[in-house]
A = this chain, B = another copy of it.
């Protein structure tokens, strides 16, 4: 269930899109080492998770990064690290005392 960014190809897609400009599937394929179909699949996954938005524009389909979930991810990491701090101090207390 590596649902999102565990994959290298997918991560590089997000990295490319984090440039801020909207890219077509063909463009995104150009800089990748896999088939257009593979890219297309990944984009669909990323879109279904909400990390990315795609919209038709003429005969091509332009994708852009959706910053909202990124911000959520930031908050999440913040909360998680806070929990970790607590968990770690508990663990330390348990082990080092």
Which of B20, B77, B78, B81 contacts A74 (CB under 8 A)? Answer: B81
A79 nearest CB neighbor, chain B only: B81
Q: Mark A69-91, 1 if CB is under 8 A from B, else 0.
A: 01101100110110011001001
A67 and B81 contacting across the interface, CB-CB below 8 Å: no
A84 and B88 contacting across the interface, CB-CB below 8 Å: no
Q: Any chain B CB within 8 A of the CB of A95? A: yes
- Count residues of A near B (Cβ-Cβ below 8 Å): 21
Q: Any chain B CB within 8 A of the CB of A57? A: no
In the bound complex, residues from chain B placing their C-beta under 8 Å from that of A91 are: 18, 67, 70-71
Which residues from chain A sit less than 8 Å from chain B, CB to CB?
1-2, 6, 18, 20, 67, 70-71, 73-74, 77-78, 80-81, 84-85, 88, 91-92, 94-95
Q: What 8 pairs across the A-B complex have the smallest Cβ distances?
A: A77-B81, A74-B88, A74-B84, A67-B95, A81-B81, A20-B94, A2-B2, A67-B91
